[in-house]
Amino acid sequence: MAILVTGGAGYIGSHMTHALAEREEEVIVLDNLSTGFDWAVAPAATLLVGDVGDADLLDMIFATHDIEAVVHFAGSIVVPESVENPLKYYANNTVNSRTLIAAAVKAGVKHFIFSSTAAVYGIPPHSPADEETPTAPINPYGRSKLMTEWMLQDVAAAHPLSYVALRYFNVAGADPKGRTGQSTPAATHLIKVACQTVLGQREKMFIFGDDYDTPDGTCIRDYIHVSDLIAAHLDALDYLRKGGESAVFNCGYGHGHSVREVIDMVKKVSGVDFPVEMAPRRAGDPPELVAAAEKIRTALGWRPQFDNLEEIVASALAWERHLQRRNLTSDKVAEEVA
Ligand code: UDP
């Protein structure tokens, strides 16, 4: 039986295709390549280019392949963009998920793993936030994901489908084997932006707000290495296959770093003292978001291997350098050909 990975050409999804291929699972990827790259998909996987919201295409995929589980990464992920363009988020993250879930139920798919987000907590009343912390998202991104969690909860109660929703905290870093990483040039995430600034792709970077009620005034996040996040997905798949009950898990390490600490680490690891300027707060940013991360260890036996900011930053930087080399090489080739 096969596993359908939506968004498998994207940052996190592409890591999942490599991990599944290493386990010799049959992998079908559905990705519209809007932000993903075909080269990022594991060579052993079958890539189908199309939309998760295309019900006819989904019916065709489920009719052609014997899909046991869906791992649903496809979606939009930029919090400030969700504030400016909420309907894009409700379409890509909520409406399209509904279409996918409906097709999966119709086809009798057994298991569903969903990429949810810590943004469902909004500004948690206490930190770290555990899975029982009331959900109260403060931006359309968080709301668009939470609605999909609710759909899954209701659907799993009504149909023979079990699911795990993984609430990602701040995912960063790249594949230690150098096969894939965060490759979207327009990425807005902190570690990626800092690495681009190290390499001179940006003249400077900004800290969005240093007047938060945190020790150094900048926001605190729980940065999790993408490889540990992928391990959580594999553990979730094993759990569901063994008959585990539908559940929601936080994916984070249980401790956070401030924006300043992250930037200092990028400067230390790179040895480059790049310019950083203060800027106003960004819309939709909670001051502190840290995972209470016990439930996933207990229920899934998850054991993170990369809980180290220096290592996360080093792998992100190595990937950024790799991307730059590739671009330089292709520019050179283009020049030579011209
Ligand atoms: N941030 C920043 N400068 C940047 C990008 C991000 O100061 O160029 C801050 C952002 O305001 C937030 C934290 O870094 O407090 C993490 O933001 P990111 O976009 O990486 O992830 P999010 O927490 O929004 O999912």
Distance 66 CA to ligand 1 centre (A): 40
Ligand 1 geometric centre to CA of 189 (Å): 6
Distance, CA of 294 to CA of 298 (rounded, Å): 6
For 54-104, the pLDDT digits (tens) are: 999 999 999 999 999 999 999 999 988 999 999 999 999 999 999 999 999
Confidence of residue 254 (pLDDT cuts 50, 70, 90): very high
CB of 176 closer than 8 Å to CB of 314? no
- Average pLDDT on 303-317 reads 98
Domain ranges of the chain: 2-329
Active site residue 141: yes
Q: Which atom of ligand 1 is nearest to the CA of 117?
A: 25
> What are residue 302's phi and psi, to 5 degrees?
-65, 130
Catalytic residue, from 11, 141, 163, 253: name it. Answer: 141
- Model confidence over 135-153: pLDDT tens digits? 999 999 999 999 999 999 9
Gap from CA of 100 to ligand 1 centroid (Å): 30
Residue 333's pLDDT band (cuts 50, 70, 90):
very low
Q: How far apart are CA 210 and CA 198, in angstroms?
A: 21
Residue 93 near residue 142 (C-beta atoms within 8 A): no
Quote the tokens at residue 137. Answer: 């998202």
* Local confidence band at 284 (pLDDT 50, 70, 90 cut-offs): confident
Q: Indicate if ligand 1 lies below 6 Å from the C-beta of 288.
A: no
The top-level CATH class assigned to 2-329 is: alpha beta
pLDDT value for 338? 39
Residue 242 · residue 299 · CB < 8 Å: no
Token pair for 230: 């992928």
The whole-angstrom separation of Cα 183 and Cα 325 is 13
pTM of the model: 0.95
Cα of first residue to Cα of last residue in the chain, in angstroms, is: 48
Mean pLDDT for all residues in the chain: 95
pLDDT at 335: 46
- Token pair in block for residue 145: 């994901």
User: What is residue 185's predicted lDDT score, i.e. its pLDDT?
Assistant: 81
